[in-house]
Chain A
Amino acid sequence: AQTVTQSQPEMSVQEAETVTLSCTYDTSESNYYLFWYKQPPSRQMILVIRQEAYKQQNATENRFSVNFQKAAKSFSLKISDSQLGDTAMYFCAFLTSGSRLTFGEGTQLTVNP
């Protein structure tokens, strides 16, 4: 079975600084997809970024980028120039075939002014 582990239950960062959230996963599959979702206090699940395992280039979306290390099964999220609106729970997720998404436990990020 696939597992996703986020080892940092809580993190904090000062506004305008950079923070990195960690995620590791375990799978025997060779072709898969990885995601970072954001859940603000509104509870809505919002896609932040997506990475396809067969692509070696790390995905980037504005201030959000990933460090995808396939051999190490690591998928960390870097947030640059942190903003107060980035305060949220962040979930790493792994997609198997058939659209079954497996989530990590989540990391609560607080951006301090």
Chain B
Amino acid sequence: NAGVTQTPKFQVLKTGQSMTLQCAQDMNHEYMSWYRQDPGMGLRLIHYSVGAGITDQGEVPNGYNVSRSTTEDFPLRLLSAAPSQTSVYFCASSYAGRAGANVLTFGAGSRLTVL
């Protein structure tokens, strides 16, 4: 089925470890983004990309790194995990163009716990 696929769904890390959350979409969407969801704070934008080779920071980018080498993939890297990065992470994508004309498609989320 077409959509946004995130892996892994669950992950436990120790402080200081690094890891990559994978995100892939098969809808040929130009726009891809990463959000984190924390209780009482809604979803906050970490990084986003409007096309291959183009990335930009969102609201809470510190401690995260992204790259966009292909249209399909947009991995999120945690360079040195901290307990404050314990959260649920969502990848979302859409067609680019007129803002708001294209609704975001979300992945199922990845729950990350940093001990």
Is B106's CB within 8 Å of the partner chain A? yes
Q: Which of B48-70 contact A (CB under 8 A)?
A: 48, 50, 58-59
Distance (Å) between the CB of B4 and the closest chain A CB?
Answer: 10
Question: Which residues from B are CB-within-8-Å of A96?
Answer: 99
Is A11's CB within 8 Å of the partner chain B? no
Q: Which residue of A lies closest to B103 (CB)?
A: A47
Is A19's CB within 8 Å of the partner chain B? no
Is A68's CB within 8 Å of the partner chain B? no
Q: Assess whether A98 is in contact with B50, with CB atoms less than 8 Å apart.
A: yes
Distance (Å) between the CB of B77 and the closest chain A CB?
Answer: 21
Is B82's CB within 8 Å of the partner chain A? no
Question: Which residues from B are CB-within-8-Å of A101?
Answer: 33, 43, 45, 92, 104
Question: Which residues from A are CB-within-8-Å of B50?
Answer: 98-99
Count of A residues near B, CB < 8 Å? 26
Is A97's CB within 8 Å of the partner chain B? yes
Question: Which residues from B are CB-within-8-Å of A106?
Answer: 40, 42
Q: Assess whether A97 is in contact with B40, with CB atoms less than 8 Å apart.
A: no
Question: Which residues from A are CB-within-8-Å of B35?
Answer: 103
Assembly CA distance A99 to B100 (angstroms): 7
Q: Assess whether B88 is in contact with A99, with CB atoms less than 8 Å apart.
A: no
Q: Which residue of A lies closest to B104 (CB)?
A: A101
Q: Assess whether B48 is in contact with A99, with CB atoms less than 8 Å apart.
A: yes
Q: Which of A4, A9, A42, A45 contacts B90 (CB 8 A)?
A: A45
Of the A-B pairs whose beta carbons lie under 8 Å apart in the complex, a sample of 27, sorted by A's number, is A4-B42, A6-B42, A32-B99, A32-B100, A42-B108, A43-B88, A45-B92, A45-B106, A50-B103, A91-B42, A91-B43, A97-B99, A98-B50, A98-B99, A99-B31, A99-B48, A99-B50, A99-B104, A100-B48, A101-B92, A102-B59, A103-B35, A103-B42, A103-B43, A105-B42, A106-B40, A106-B42
